[in-house]
C-alpha cells in the first residue's frame, strides 16, 4: 500500500505551499496519541514561519484519526510503514523548509520559541548542529536540508539513529555541538518514555532489535542521555526499571557480537560519503 500523505483538511502534500525561510519541524510517531495534545501545545506562541512534518509508522491507537481531525494548517501528516530512522528521513524529504529541526512527539517544549531563538542564534549553516544540556536527556538536532542530504539522511534503524548521524558528522568535521544552559531542563516536559528502551514498538523483529544493541557500548547505553543517567532526576523509579530491563538485551548482544555477528561500522559510511562529496 502506498504511503498516505495529506495536510490539514485532507490537502495533498503537492498542494502545500512552500515558504522561503520556513523552518520544518520533523517528527516521527508510533502509538503516541496520548501525548500529541501536549506536544502541539509547544507551538502555541511561535512567531516564526514553520511547518510540522509528522511521519507515523501505522499506529494502532488512533493516531491517524487524531491527525485527520486536527485543525492545524501547519501540519503535514504522512503515514507509512517504517522504522524511526526511515521515518525521520521521509519527513526531511517531504519538508518544505530550508532549515530542519528534529523534535520528539512525546515531549512538550514549554518555551519552544526561546529554544529556537537560541538554536538559530548559534547555528552554523554549514554544519549539523547538536543542541544538548547536561541536566536533561532531550537533544535537538538542526541543520539545513542540504546538510542532511549530504549526510545521506538518517540510517534505516530503530534507535540511536541520532547518535549515528552525530558521529558521522563529527568524523566529517561538520558537527557543531552547542551546550544549552542548565535551565533548559525547565523548558522540557517528558510526557512518556518512548526512547531506546521502547524500541520494540518500532522493531520489525527481535534480531533487528538486538543488532542495534550490539553496535553501542555500555558507555552509550548508560551515559549518553538515553536511559537512567538522563532521566533519573525526573523519575528515579521508572528510570531504574528501564535500566535493569536493558541489561539482558545488552549482555545477549555482546555475546552475539563476540561469536559471529559483524555489523558495518560508522567508518565505512564515512568513507562512502567522503567519496561522494569529493
Dump pLDDT digits (tens) for 123-169: 667 889 888 766 555 678 999 999 999 888 887 776 667 877 887 88
Taking Cα atoms as reference points, which of 104, 123, 114, 242 lies closest to residue 186?
A: 114
pLDDT at residue 226 tops 90: no
pLDDT confidence tier of residue 101, bands split at 50, 70 and 90 = very high
Mean pLDDT of the chain: 69
Instruction: Report all structural domains of the chain as residue ranges with CATH numbers, in order of start.
Output: 4-187 (3.90.550.10), 192-259 (no CATH)
Q: What percent of the chain has pLDDT over 70?
A: 51
Identify the pLDDT of residue 55.
96
Select the highest-mean-pLDDT range: 105-109, 110-114, 213-217.
105-109
Q: Are 228 and 242 in contact (CB under 8 A)?
A: yes
pLDDT confidence tier of residue 198, bands split at 50, 70 and 90 = very low
pLDDT by residue (tens digit) across 44-93? 888 889 999 999 988 888 898 999 888 888 999 999 988 888 999 999 99
Taking Cα atoms as reference points, which of 79, 72, 8 lies closest to residue 43?
A: 72
- pTM for the model stands at 0.67
Identify the pLDDT of residue 9.
37
User: Is the pLDDT higher at 28 or at 216?
Assistant: 28
Q: Which whole number is the average pLDDT over 186-205?
A: 50
Sign of CA dihedral 235, 238, 241, 242: negative
pLDDT confidence tier of residue 4, bands split at 50, 70 and 90 = very low
How far apart, in whole angstroms, are the C-alpha atoms of residue 249 and residue 252? 5
Identify the pLDDT of residue 8.
39
pLDDT at residue 38 tops 60: yes
Buried b (16+ CB within 10 A) or exposed e, 217-230: eeebbeebbbbbeb
pLDDT at residue 16 tops 50: no
The alpha carbon torsion through 96, 101, 107, 110 (nearest 10 deg) reads -100
Amino acid at each position: 500500500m502506498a504511503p498516505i500523505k495529506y495536510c490539514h483538511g485532507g490537502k495533498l502534500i503537492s498542494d502545500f505551499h512552500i515558504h522561503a525561510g520556513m523552518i520544518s519541524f520533523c517528527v516521527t510517531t508510533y502509538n503516541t496519541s496520548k501525548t500529541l495534545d501536549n506536544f502541539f501545545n509547544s507551538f502555541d506562541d511561535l512567531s516564526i514561519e514553520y511547518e510540522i512534518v509528522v511521519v507515523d509508522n501505522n499506529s494502532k491507537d488512533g493516531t491517524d484519526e487524531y491527525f485527520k481531525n486536527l485543525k492545524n494548517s501547519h501540519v503535514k501528516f504522512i503515514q507509512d510503514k517504517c522504522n524511526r530512522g526511515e521515518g525521520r528521513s521521509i519527513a526531511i524529504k517531504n519538508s518544505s523548509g530550508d532549515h530542519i529541526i528534529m523534535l520528539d512527539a512525546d515531549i512538550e517544549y514549554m518555551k519552544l520559541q526561546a529554544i529556537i531563538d537560541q538554536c538559530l542564534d548559534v547555528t552554523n549553516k554549514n554544519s549539523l548542529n547538536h543542541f544538548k544540556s547536561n541536566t536533561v536527556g532531550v537533544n535537538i538536532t538542526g541543520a539545513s536540508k542540504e546538510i542532511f542530504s549530504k549526510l545521506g539522511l538518517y540510517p534505516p534503524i530503530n534507535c540511536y539513529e541520532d547518535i549515528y548521524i552525530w558521529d558521522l558528522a563529527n568524523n566529517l568535521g561538520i558537527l557543531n555541538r552547542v551546550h544549552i544552559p542548565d535551565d533548559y531542563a525547565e523548558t522540557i516536559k517528558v510526557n512518556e518514555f518512548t526512547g531506546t528502551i521502547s524500541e520494540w514498538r518500532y522493531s520489525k523483529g527481535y534480531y533487528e532489535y538486538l543488532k542495534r544493541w550490539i553496535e553501542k557500548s555500555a558507555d552509550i547505553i548508560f551515559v549518553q542521555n538515553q536511559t537512567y543517567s538522563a532521566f533519573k532526576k525526573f523519575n528515579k523509579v521508572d528510570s531504574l526499571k528501564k535500566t535493569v530491563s536493558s541489561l539482558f538485551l545488552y549482555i545477549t548482544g555482546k555475546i552475539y557480537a563476540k561469536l559471529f555477528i559483524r555489523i558495518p561500522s560508522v567508518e565505512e559510511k564515512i568513507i562512502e560519503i567522503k567519496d561522494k562529496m569529493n
